A and B are shown apart, each in its own frame.
Chain A
């Protein structure tokens, strides 16, 4: 039963984070959502690792470790960029209200 619980909570975390990463306005919230996305997948992988017949499968753990490394570097990268942007919001570029550059791209798609 436990693996199913882990797996379904992993899916829930992933779904919530996916929703937030697209809807959150604040940069930091988006970065946290991206982290949670990764966390959801890792939970699922850990749940998968337990196989009733063969005991514990080591491969998913290796995958999770690799995934964490990638996720940490991505987060670090995002945070570094976010610090450079302190005080502004991400969506400025969309609305074209940031002064000189608004002519750069006309009519961006949805």
Chain B
């Protein structure tokens, strides 16, 4: 078992290096094998957590405070599985596309790197190592954006990088201050010592601000939107589905294990306000975007708000709800990006007004879009509903009626922007307007991801049990 957690990082990392060095054909095989093996490793970790509870593994035999600790707890196991499911299906989509083998071979190492960095992030038990993995995920993501279609991709990538960098460096500054005060980097030691002193508070504020910037929380949400709309569908799926959640997961770790109650009770309402802004602003903007990808991008902005709502609510059930939103939105947004990619390839564009009457010509992508949309608007029986239910109930339990109202209104707005797309696709095509479909589309991976988002909502008990399997309070 000590192996499995290491393999979940080393296999995709090694695979990425090999794939980058190998030729076009070989790199596809390597990537496919690495994806399969990493998924197995993630399942191994999850099975062990489910059976034996959480465990800790000092990397290379060095113990904290000097060494870096890898942890397999409920949170880590659940996220490893989420990453494996989403990245694995996105990989399947990328590898199945034989017509663009060269582009695929170029992007294989990048998405394997992303996968490795995210796996390392969710198991890291060391606040400096969290910085490193966060930065690695960002760099790999920048590569994915730059690899996108169109002449604008490099600009989007650079913009993404230049907004992500100050975020992580703010976080690093906070880490430096904390280390200066307490001489430790592992959450357990810090949790016992970090208090309400001025340097500690400053450090925590810096770390939190940096992570909010990195998570693109309202009002600093605009920068990834550009990248999501310019990136290739594969990159968009990985970025919006997984990379965008990384900073949130880091902040959850800090909130639970390092920050004292004095800080969380003061910062919670601030983050709640920003989260409410994100939900309303993102959902409203998604309503009138002219392009499919931009709708999904703004939907992601809104969903970041649902995640951060947890910091204002703070209960255990609410955390389960927020992590359910992580899982559900990871699968749903990845599905929507891949479906959009399939639609855009068939039509040559992804303008919403051009979708009229296409549901019957492109049934699989639109079916995926409809199912994933159900989850995005948090309607039962989807995983999005489970997450929102837990959050809304917690909001009423803790007396945060305003936040509950914001989340409920956000759901209504989400329904509006999802049905705006779907109703158009099901309208009959105006006579005399031929449909120019250049090629039949894929979209099976998108459908599989959408089914994951629904299935999680039908039997949420499994995921909730695993989450509880040792995650901190």
Asked whether B158 lies within 8 Å of A21 as measured between CB atoms, the reply is: no
Question: What per-residue 1/0 map shows which CB atoms of B287-310 lie under 8 Å from chain A?
Answer: 011110110010000000000000
Shortest Cβ distance from residue A36 to the other chain B in the assembled complex, whole angstroms: 10
Bound form: Cα–Cα A38–B171 in Å: 11
Which residues of the partner chain A approach B288 to less than 8 Å between Cβ atoms?
106-107
Of B26-34, B71-79, B148-156, the one contacting chain A is B148-156
Known contacts A22-B166, A106-B290; A41 and B218 CB within 8 A of each other: no
List CB contacts (< 8 Å) of B52-75 with chain A. 65-66
Which residues of the partner chain A approach B135 to less than 8 Å between Cβ atoms?
70, 74
Asked whether A105 lies within 8 Å of B226 as measured between CB atoms, the reply is: yes
Asked whether A31 lies within 8 Å of B143 as measured between CB atoms, the reply is: no
Which residues of the partner chain B approach A98 to less than 8 Å between Cβ atoms?
152
Asked whether B132 lies within 8 Å of A21 as measured between CB atoms, the reply is: no
- Confirm or deny: B444 has a beta carbon within 8 angstroms of a beta carbon on chain A: no
Question: What per-residue 1/0 map shows which CB atoms of A84-110 lie under 8 Å from chain B?
Answer: 110010101100001001011111111
CB closest residue in chain A, given B65? A59
Asked whether A63 lies within 8 Å of B154 as measured between CB atoms, the reply is: no
Which residues of the partner chain B approach A107 to less than 8 Å between Cβ atoms?
285, 288
Shortest Cβ distance from residue A3 to the other chain B in the assembled complex, whole angstroms: 9
Q: Which of A74, A82, A105 contacts B165 (CB 8 A)?
A: A74
Bound form: Cα–Cα A51–B128 in Å: 20
CB closest residue in chain B, given A36? B169
For the complex, would chain A's binding face be called helix, strand, loop or mixed by DSSP majority?
A: helix
CB closest residue in chain B, given A84? B154
Asked whether B225 lies within 8 Å of A108 as measured between CB atoms, the reply is: yes
List CB contacts (< 8 Å) of B155-184 with chain A. 155-159, 161-162, 165-166, 169-170, 172-173, 176-177, 179-180, 183
Known contacts A40-B173, A104-B229, A104-B294; A81 and B166 CB within 8 A of each other: no
List CB contacts (< 8 Å) of A52-75 with chain B. 57, 59-60, 63, 66-67, 70, 73-74
- Confirm or deny: A77 has a beta carbon within 8 angstroms of a beta carbon on chain B: yes
Interface residue count on the A side (C-beta < 8 Å):
46
Asked whether A59 lies within 8 Å of B222 as measured between CB atoms, the reply is: no
- Confirm or deny: B281 has a beta carbon within 8 angstroms of a beta carbon on chain A: yes
Bound form: Cα–Cα A50–B185 in Å: 17
Which residues of the partner chain B approach A108 to less than 8 Å between Cβ atoms?
222, 225-226
Interface residue count on the B side (C-beta < 8 Å):
50
Asked whether A57 lies within 8 Å of B183 as measured between CB atoms, the reply is: yes
Which residues of the partner chain B approach A40 to less than 8 Å between Cβ atoms?
173
Known contacts A77-B139, A77-B143, A103-B290; A38 and B169 CB within 8 A of each other: yes
Bound form: Cα–Cα A64–B293 in Å: 39
Bound form: Cα–Cα A30–B218 in Å: 22
List CB contacts (< 8 Å) of A1-46 with chain B. 14, 18, 21-22, 27, 30-31, 34, 37-38, 40-41, 44-45
Asked whether B285 lies within 8 Å of A78 as measured between CB atoms, the reply is: no
Bound form: Cα–Cα A103–B152 in Å: 13
Residues in chain A within 8 A of chain B (CB atoms): 14, 18, 21-22, 27, 30-31, 34, 37-38, 40-41, 44-45, 47-48, 51, 57, 59-60, 63, 66-67, 70, 73-74, 77-78, 81-82, 84-85, 88, 90, 92-93, 98, 101, 103-110
Give 8 nearest A-B pairs by CB, closest first. A48-B180, A84-B154, A81-B158, A37-B169, A34-B165, A109-B222, A108-B222, A45-B176
Known: A81-B142, A92-B155, A109-B281. 10 other contacts (CB 8 A): A14-B173, A37-B166, A44-B176, A44-B177, A57-B183, A59-B183, A90-B159, A103-B291, A108-B222, A108-B226
What are 26 A-B interface contacts by the 8 Å CB criterion? A34-B169, A41-B169, A41-B173, A41-B176, A45-B179, A48-B179, A51-B183, A59-B65, A60-B179, A66-B132, A67-B172, A74-B135, A81-B142, A84-B146, A85-B154, A85-B155, A90-B155, A93-B152, A93-B226, A98-B152, A103-B291, A105-B229, A108-B222, A108-B225, A109-B218, A109-B281
